């Protein structure tokens, strides 16, 4: 993960924002590294969380000046800046997954062992659900392939005996 993306996550953590890393970076930790054009961040839609996300992004230097803090987490809001491969998407709704349910199943992953940076990622099960529904609804083959890759890794890890773990 590039340094700017790590800095964004660090600022969101400092503001105690409720967010989940989704998309290509989540596929990379659950299944296999793959190229991604952006950092996708799924956020909770309560006002306090919207304000926390807004503060974290503002402290990072994101162009949030035209977005009132109370609108940041408005359901259906999509905030994006940058250009691939350094684009960031802040998303309040994703296909097939409710944020609060996904938050309760989140995986805390070490993003940078040297700095100790951790971030909440969507669980493998929720990632599969999201990718499968998004792939079917929007006809995106990459989403279907991502869901299959995560499913294969989950299946393989279940087959391992306790001695191998």
Q: Any idea where the domains of the chain sit in the sequence?
A: 3-123
pTM across the whole model: 0.92
Confidence of residue 41 (pLDDT cuts 50, 70, 90): very high
pLDDT in tens, 129-145: 999 998 888 878 888 99
Element at 109 (helix H, strand E): strand 107-112
Contact 132, 49 (CB under 8 A): no
Name the average pLDDT for the chain: 92
pLDDT in tens, 94-103: 999 999 999 9
CATH of the domain spanning 3-123: 3.30.460.40
């Amino acid at each position: 993960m590039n340094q700017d993306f790590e800095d964004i996550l660090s600022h969101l953590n400092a503001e105690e924002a409720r967010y989940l890393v989704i998309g290509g970076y989540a596929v990379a930790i659950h299944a296999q590294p793959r190229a991604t054009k952006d950092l996708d961040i799924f956020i909770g839609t309560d006002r306090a969380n919207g304000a926390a996300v807004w503060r974290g992004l503002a402290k990072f230097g994101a162009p949030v000046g035209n977005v009132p803090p109370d609108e940041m987490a408005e359901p259906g809001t999509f905030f994006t800046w940058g250009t691939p491969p350094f684009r960031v998407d802040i998303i309040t709704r994703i296909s097939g997954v409710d944020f609060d349910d996904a938050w309760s199943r989140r995986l805390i992953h070490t993003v940078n062992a040297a700095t100790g940076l951790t971030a909440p990622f969507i669980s493998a099960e929720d990632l599969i659900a999201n990718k499968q529904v998004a792939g079917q609804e929007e006809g995106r083959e990459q989403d279907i392939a991502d869901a299959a890759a995560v499913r294969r890794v989950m299946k393989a890890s279940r087959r391992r005996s306790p001695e191998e773990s």
